[in-house]
Amino acid sequence: DAKTTQPTSMDCAEGRAANLPCNHSTISGNEYVYWYRQIHSQGPQYIIHGLKNNETNEMASLIITEDRKSSTLILPHATLRDTAVYYCIVPWGNEKLTFGTGTRLTIIP
């Protein structure tokens, strides 16, 4: 399965764009990149996913490099409620998501 590497923690000022990187250099051609986040004391929540092209929804944007070996999740105007652990996942097979330890994002007032 494709392994992902994320920074352990990051800070971002409130109102600024938060850019969370993820490396997935062993990803294969048909594997998607998924992002979930986990706010304290809650279960993880889906954010966005993509294959090749950049994706945007009401929560975030996902930028995937042309070689697909890395991606960046962008929260365009971070708020205090965006403080959470963010997981970048490349699913294994068709069955299960494997969560690593993610990036702990702290939004600074």
Partner 1 sequence: DVKVTQSSRYLVKRTGEKVFLECVQDMDHENMFWYRQDPGLGLRLIYFSYDVKMKEKGDIPEGYSVSREKKERFSLILESASTNQTSMYLCASRKGTVFNEQFFGPGTRLTVL
Residues that bind partner 1 (CB under 8 A): 32, 36, 41-46, 49, 87, 91-102
Q: What's phi and psi for 10, nearest 5 deg?
A: -150, 155
| Distance, CA of 104 to CA of 89 (rounded, Å) | 15
Question: How near is the Cβ of 13 to partner 1 at its closest, in Å?
Answer: 27
Least distance from partner 1 to the Cβ atom of residue 44, Å: 5
Query: At its nearest, how many Å lie between partner 1 and the CB of residue 52?
Result: 14
Of the two residues 93 and 109, which places its CB atom closer to partner 1 in the complex? Answer: 93
At residue 6, what are phi and psi to the nearest 5 degrees?
-130, 155
C-beta of 14: minimal distance to partner 1 in Å?
26
Cβ-based burial of 103 (10 A; exposed 0-12, middle 13-18, buried ≥19): buried
Q: Which is nearer to partner 1, 97 or 108 (CB)?
A: 97
22: number of Cβ within 10 Å: 25
Q: Give whichever of 54 and 98 is closer to partner 1, judged by the CB atom.
A: 98
